[in-house]
Structure 1
C-alpha cells in the first residue's frame, strides 16, 4: 500500500475519535448519498415517463404517416406496396380519419374516428394488444350493424359495453328545405381497448375502412393516408427520407413521429436536464461538507504534516493524502446513494404504488426506467464534485511551512 493511501485511510478511520469532525463527515456522506439517490430516482422516473409516453403515442399512432394535401389518396395500394419495399419498414396499413359525434342513451361525446384494416393494422398499431374486451377481428364479424371499438374511459363515461348500440353522427350530410341534416348511422360496440392514456381512451374509436367511408360519404376507393411502422424508431429520419425519395410527390408528403411530437419530447428532455441540475445541488452541499471536514482535519494535523515534510515527504504527497481522504468520503457517499436510489426505483417500477390521476396526466402510474448511461453519468458527476471539493484543503495542507508548524506546537 502506498504511503499516501495508508495515511489517508488511517486519518479516515481515526475520525471517530474526533466527534465533531466525524459528525461533519457523516453529514457529508449523507448529503452525497441523498443527492445521488434522489438523482437516480428522479432521472429514472423522467426516463420512464418519456419512454412510456413515447410507446403509448407510437402504439396508437404510426411511426410514419403518408398523407395527401388533397385530403385523400386513391392509389394507396400501389403506394403501400412501394413503401413496404423500403429498407427498415416493417408494416404498412391504410386508414381513414375524421371527427364525429357518438351518442347513446347516456349522453353524447365527440370522438376521433379511425377507419382501419383489421388484418394489416396488427403490424403497425398496438390496438390488438390493448384490447380488454373483444378483438379487432370482431369489427368484420358483426352481423347486421357495423362494429366499433371504443376506449375504456369513453365506455365508462357513457355506460357502454360490448354489444351496446351507439349512433355516429357524421359532419357530412345533406342540405334540404329544413336545413342541413347530418348523416347518422347505428353501430354496435365490438370491443373496448385501454392504452393507459386518458386522451386516447376517452375520445378514440375504430371502425373498418368501408364503414368509415360509408359514414363519411367518401366516394370511391379512397383513404386518408397510410400508417407505417419501422424497425428502429430512432432511425426514423433516415427511413422517412428514403420513403420521400420513393413515394413522395407534390401531393403526397411523409411525416414521422419525431417531427409531429418534436415540441413534446423536447420539453421532456429539457425537464430532465433541469431536474438533474437542481438535484445535483444536493450533492454539491455534501461536497461543501467535505471541504469543511478536510479544512478542520488539516488544522488538527498540522504537526503530523510538518513531521512528514521533515522526513522527506514533498508537497505533492501531502496534497494526495488529503485528496484521497476526501475522495474516499465521496466514494462512500456515492455508493450509499446507489444503494438507496436503485432499490427505491425498482420498488416503484415493480409495485407501482404511486398512482396518478389519469384525467390529469397522460399515464395513470409513475413509470421508472433505469438506464446504464444515466447511472454512470450520475456517479461520475457526484464523484467529480467530491473530488473538486478536496483541492482547496489539500493545497492548504501542502502549503504549510514545517518550521512554522513545529514552532507553535
Structure 2
C-alpha cells in the first residue's frame, strides 16, 4: 500500500475526536446506497411495465399492418402470398375492422370494436389462442345452427352477463340508406369464446368474428378486406421487415410496424424514464454533498497533519490523492452496497409477486420487474462519477494548506 492510501485509510478509522465525522461518512455511504438502490428498483419496475405493455399490445395485435392506400384490398390471398415471401415474415392474415353496438338478453348494451379475422391463419399472427379462458378461435367457423359466432373480451362479457353458448345482438350503422335515413344492420351471434388479455381497454371493447360476419356488418362486398396483419420473426426488428414489405409492394400500399403505430406512447414512456433517472439522481447528489461536508471537516481537523506532511516533503498532488481516495472509498462502498440491495430487492419482487395491481387500471396483475444490465451499469457509473466529483473541492482545499501558517502557534 502506497503512502497516500495508507494515510487515507487511517483517516477513515474512527477515533474519539472524529466519531462525528465518521458518522457523517457513514450517512454519506448510506445516502449513496439508498440512491443507487432506488434508481435500480424504480427503473427496473418501469422497464418491466414498459415491456409488459409492449407484450400486451403486440400479443393481441400484429407486428405489422399492411393497407392499400385509399381503399380496400380486393385480392387478399394474392397479397398474403407476396407478403409471406418477404424475409423476416413468419405469417400474415387478413382482417376487417368495424364498429357495432352489442346488446344481450339481460338488457345490457355497450359499444364494441369488431375485428373480422380468418381463424385458420390468425393463430400464426396474433397470440389470442393463449389468452382464451373458454372456447377457441376455431370456434368462429364452427356450425352453431346457422348463427355466426363471436369471441368476446372478459370484461365486456361480464358487463353483458353472458357466457359461452349465449346469444347476443350486434347493431351496425353500416346499413342501407332509406328515405328515413340509414337502416341499421342487426346480426345475432352466439358467444363461442371469451378471452382475457390483462388489458382492460381490450377486454372491455373488443370482439372477434369471422371475415364473412364482419363483411356483413361493415357492408363490404365480395372477398375484400381492410388489410393484412403480419407477424415478424423478431418483434424488436419489425421495422426492418416492414421496410422490406414496403419495398416489395410499392407505394400503392401503406405498411406500418407496431413501433410506428404506438410511437407516441413509447416515446412518452422513454421520456418519463429519463425524467425519473434525473430526479432520483438527486438523492445521490444529496449524498455527494454529505461527502463534501465530511471531507471538509476532515481537512479542518487534519490541518496540522497536512502541514507536517508537507514539511516532510509530501507533494501537493499526494495531499490531494489522500482525500480523493477517502472520498472514493465512501462513494464506491455506497455504490456497491446500493447495487447489491437494489438487485436483491428486484429479485424478491420478481420471484414472490408481492405487490398486486388492479387489472382495470394496469395492463398486468402484479408489479413487473425487469433488470436491464445496461441500466444498472449506467446507474453505478453515474453514482461513482458524482461521488468522485464531490471529492475534488475538499482535496484541492487540503492541498492549499500552508505549513507555516498551520504550525505558527504549535
1:2-401 counterparts in 2 under 5 A?
2-14=2-14, 18-106=18-106, 107-144=108-145, 145-176=147-178, 180-250=182-252, 252-401=253-402
Return 125-134 or 63-72, whichever deviates more.
63-72
- SS of match in other structure, 1:133: strand
Give the C-alpha shift of residue 263 in structure 1. 0.9
Deviation track 1:48-69 (CA, whole Å, cap 9, x = no partner) reads 1111111111112111101123
Structure 1 distance, partners of 2:126, 2:245, is 19
Paired residue secondary structure (1:400): coil
In angstroms, what is the RMSD of aligned CA positions? 1.8
Q: Give the distance between the partners of 2:76 and 2:400, measured in 1 at CA.
A: 79
Cα distance change, pair 322–219 in 1 and its aligned pair in 2 (3 A) = same
Give me the whole-angstrom Cα distance separating, in 2, the residues matched to 1:283 and 1:125. 44
Assess, with a 3 A threshold, how the Cα gap between structure 1 residues 364 and 30 changes in structure 2: closer, same or farther: same
Return the alpha-carbon distance in structure 2 between the equivalents of residues 16 and 244 of structure 1: 75
| 8 Å Cα contact 2:98/2:217 also seen in 1 | no
SS at match of 1:18: helix
Change in Cα spacing, 1:16 to 1:141, as seen in structure 2 (3 Å) is: farther
Paired with 1:408 and 1:335, the residues of 2 have a C-alpha distance of: 43
Deviation at 1:287, TM superposition (A): 0.4
> Is this contact kept in 2: 1:113–1:204, CA < 8 A?
yes
The answer on 1:405 being equivalent to 2:406 is yes
Residue 276 of structure 1, CA deviation:
0.6
Q: Residue 16 of structure 1: CA displacement?
A: 7.2
Rate the CA distance shift 1:211–1:266 in 2: closer, same or farther, 3 A.
Answer: same
Once residues 374 and 44 of structure 1 are traced to their aligned partners in structure 2, the CA distance between those partners, rounded to angstroms, is: 8
SS in 2 for 1:276: helix
Cα distance change on mapping 1:334 and 1:161 into 2, 3 Å = same
| Cα displacement (A) at 1:177 | 6.3
Give the conservation status (yes or no) of the 8 Å contact 1:142–1:190: no
Deviation of the 1:206 alpha carbon: 0.8
TM-fit CA distance, 1:15: 5.7
Is the partner of 1:185 in helix, strand or coil?
strand
Given that 1:28 and 1:289 are in contact with CA atoms closer than 8 Å, whether structure 2 keeps it comes out as yes
- Counterpart-to-counterpart distance in 2, 1:280 and 1:249: 47
> In structure 2, the residue corresponding to 1:375 is in which secondary structure?
helix
Q: Shift of residue 302 of structure 1?
A: 1.6
Deviation sequence 1:181-213 (CA, Å, 0-9, x none): 321121111111111111001001111112222
Task: Give the CA deviation at 1:364.
Answer: 4.0
SS of 2:370's partner is coil
Distance 2:185 2:400 in 1: 89
Q: 1:363 to 1:26 in 2, by over 3 A?
A: same
Q: Compute the displacement of 1:355 (Å).
A: 3.0
8 Å CA contact retained: 2:173, 2:183: no
- Contact residue 125 and residue 229 of structure 2 kept, 8 A: yes
Shift of 1:232: 2.6
TM-score by length of 2: 0.95
Q: Matched residues in 2 for 1:60 and 1:110: separation? A: 19
Secondary structure of residue in 2 paired with 1:172: coil
Shift of 1:406: 2.3
Q: Is the 8 A contact 1:151 1:201 kept in 2?
A: yes
Q: Distance in 1 between matches of 2:16 and 2:161?
A: 68
How far did residue 380 of structure 1 move?
A: 0.5
Q: How many residues align?
A: 408
